[in-house]
Amino acid sequence: MRPEELLEMTPALLAKSILHRRERLAETIPEQLDARQDELRAAEPLARSAKEQRDGLNAKVANLKKERNDARKTAKNLFQEAGELRDNISSSGGVQKANPEWAKNKLDDKLKALEHELETNSGNHKTEQKYIAEMKALIRKHEEWVEKRTDNQEENNLMKSKYSDARKHLDIAEKAHQALLDHASENEYFHNTYLEQESHRRRADARTKRLAQALDSSQRGIEHWQKHIDNGFDALLENSKRVESGEPSSHARRRNRNAPEQNSKQSPPQVKARGEEE
């Protein structure tokens, strides 16, 4: 429609055109809204189920990590206690000279780098496996040393018991760690499934809300324009009549109100120096 044709339209005709448009929208939106609501109702339980599966597996993984870490820590403490007993046996006359291989393989020396990575850099599954394997190898070597001893039988038995308990806890840590690896692909699958289902739910929810807002806007628009068609357009034509009577338009009045503000923001005139020509 050309501007000339638009200007020739009466307020009543223009209002009826807008009203007709709003009514058409109000007729078509409900069907779309129902479809989106059905989509949302279908998406919500899928997203909820996917989240529950993911969270359940995450909880299982967290428990396995705690079981692995606790068992590894217990094994380390037992190994250290057994090592102290071995040092006592070696220094109490049971052995004239400390075993250099034992000194070389002490836990603080052999596992220092791996433990640092585990504690400070959250080492990966290979680091965990290597740590457990290193400690099990040390325990086997030290158990062989205990088996060859005949003196200090009581301390040897206690040391042997601690090595045995340490090995059992390392077996627990190893099994828990292997279970974590088994869950890795499953965990990724459940997480990706949840992200996909949740994304679908959010899209359906956003579409539903937009259509509901559009329907509400159309219904309010119908009421608004129907009221003016029934009761007249005096309120809408108030500014137009003011301009016809010679008063300034809304834009002109707003511009006049802003003029003093703009003038006050301008910098004051510079004062001339004494002796300068006026």
Is residue 238 domain-resident? no
Three-state secondary structure call for residue 245: coil
Is residue 258 domain-resident? no
Is residue 264 domain-resident? no
Is residue 105 domain-resident? yes
Give the span between the Cα atoms of 51 and 57, in whole angstroms. 10
pLDDT of residue 265: 56
- Mean pLDDT is lowest, of 14-28, 138-152, 234-248, for 138-152
Q: Which long-range contacts (CB under 8 A, 24 or more apart) does 275-278 make?
A: none
Give the span between the Cα atoms of 83 and 90, in whole angstroms. 10
CA angle 222, 225, 226 (to 5 degrees): 75
pLDDT of residue 278: 39
Q: Is the pLDDT of residue 99 over 60?
A: no
CB 40 within 8 A of CB 201: yes
Give the span between the Cα atoms of 109 and 100, in whole angstroms. 13
Q: CA Rg, the chain, in Å?
A: 42
Is residue 243 domain-resident? no
pLDDT of residue 268: 55
How many other C-beta atoms lie within 10 A of the C-beta of residue 208?
A: 20
CB 139 within 8 A of CB 170: yes
pLDDT in tens, 251-264: 677 777 776 655 55
Angstrom CA distances, 76 to 13, 17, 162, 189, 263, stand at 88, 83, 10, 34, 80
First to last CA, the chain: 62
- Mean pLDDT is lowest, of 117-126, 231-240, 248-257, for 117-126
How many other C-beta atoms lie within 10 A of the C-beta of residue 110?
A: 15
pLDDT of residue 113: 62
Domain span at residue 149 reads: 11-231
Q: Which of the two residues, 275 and 198, has the higher pLDDT score?
A: 198
Q: Is the pLDDT of residue 109 over 50?
A: yes
- Mean pLDDT is lowest, of 96-100, 159-163, 173-177, 238-242, for 96-100
Structure tokens belonging to residue 188: 């990724």
Is residue 136 domain-resident? yes
Domain count, the chain: 1
pLDDT in tens, 138-162: 777 777 766 666 555 677 778 888 8
Is residue 25 domain-resident? yes
Angstrom CA distances, 210 to 72, 207, 213, 233, stand at 54, 5, 5, 31
Is residue 251 domain-resident? no
Q: Which of 77, 75, 83, 74 has its CA nearest to residue 146? A: 83
Three-state secondary structure call for residue 266: coil
Find the farthest-apart pair of alpha carbons in the chain and give their distance in angstroms, rounded: 121
Give the span between the Cα atoms of 83 and 81, in whole angstroms. 5
| φ/ψ (deg, to 5) at 235 | -65, -35
